[in-house]
Amino acid sequence: MAKNRGTDAQLLTMHELAAYLHLDEATVSKLVMQGKIPSLQVDRQWRFRRTAID
């Protein structure tokens, strides 16, 4: 079954977002917990919409 990459390509992992923003993952995590970075949680992992970050 083919996976719909249109939506998945728009979602970044914590590691990808940290690299994209040139920040440490701990800093990104802290900003998420403070509500300063828009995010969504899938199972127990954070995901970030690229359009919300740009």
CATH code of the domain covering residue 31:
1.10.10.10
pLDDT recorded at residue 14: 97
**What are the residues facing 22 on neighbouring strands?**
none
Total count of domains within the chain: 1
Q: 32 φ, ψ to 5°?
A: -65, -45
Name the residue range of residue 20's domain: 9-53
When pLDDT is averaged across residues 12-28 and rounded to a whole number, the result is 97
Whole-angstrom distance, CA of residue 42 vs CA of residue 38: 14
Structural domain contains residue 4: no
Structural domain contains residue 2: no
- Taking 60 as the threshold, does the pLDDT of residue 29 lie above it? yes
pTM over 0.85: no
- Taking 50 as the threshold, does the pLDDT of residue 50 lie above it? yes
| Residue pair 26/15 in contact by the 8 Å Cβ criterion | no
Q: What percent of the chain has pLDDT over 90?
A: 80
pLDDT recorded at residue 36: 97
| Residue pair 17/10 in contact by the 8 Å Cβ criterion | no
Structural domain contains residue 19: yes
Structural domain contains residue 3: no
